[in-house]
Amino acid sequence: MTLKTLTAAAALSLAFAIPTIASAAPVLDGGWSFDEIPAAFTDSTESPISLSLAGPAVFRITDSFITGDTYYVYDFGTLILTTTFQAFASGFGDDASADSAWTSASWSSGEVALSAGSHEITIQGDGVAGTPAGFYTRLDSAQVSEPAVLGLLGLGLVGVWAARRRAA
């Protein structure tokens, strides 16, 4: 074999060895996951996504392939989110492409709170920018806000005070 043939074979082997973006359902606190719709108003490749949450979580989605698509998120067949063209203040730091789309008003994005319990998430899109239409999703644990924690602490202290007062 000549050097030219070996170089071409190595380049071809390397091209097949480099992983492409793989579709995957979002994992709780696992960062961004890529998915796509094969045609307008059809279920995404990963749909339906079955979730069983021990606590509340936030489901997020952002367009990522060609700008212009709007996505629709359903839970057990009920529409719970339609993406809009808005820019969120900051990304999450685990995927530069997804974060770039999330923080840009040029890409449609959205988020919705999910309660603890079972969910069956289905994602569809309008495919306006063409299909297949790629997007990213993520599922993050919902953080209890500090004011809510302080309120619960205060309520607990009032309960302890009332119980001690009755005992006295």
Alpha helix positions (H), 51-108: 96-102
Host domain of residue 163: 18-167
pLDDT at 146: 59
The CA distance from 4 to 11, in Å, is 11
pLDDT at 16: 39
Question: Does residue 12 lie in a domain region?
Answer: no
* Residue ranges of the chain whose pLDDT lies below 50: 6, 8-23
The CATH number of residue 26's host domain is 2.60.120
Question: Does residue 142 lie in a domain region?
Answer: yes
Residue with tokens 């009920």: 78
pLDDT at 164: 82
Q: State how many domains the chain has.
A: 1
Q: For the chain, what is the largest distance between any 2 Cα atoms, rounded to a whole number of angstroms?
A: 96
Sign of CA dihedral 129, 35, 110, 74: positive
Question: Does residue 152 lie in a domain region?
Answer: yes
pLDDT at 11: 45
pLDDT at 144: 63
Question: Does residue 4 lie in a domain region?
Answer: no
Question: Does residue 3 lie in a domain region?
Answer: no
Question: Does residue 13 lie in a domain region?
Answer: no
pLDDT at 153: 74
Question: Does residue 2 lie in a domain region?
Answer: no
SS3 content of the chain, % helix, strand, coil (to 5): 25, 35, 40
The CA distance from 71 to 162, in Å, is 51
Question: Does residue 96 lie in a domain region?
Answer: yes
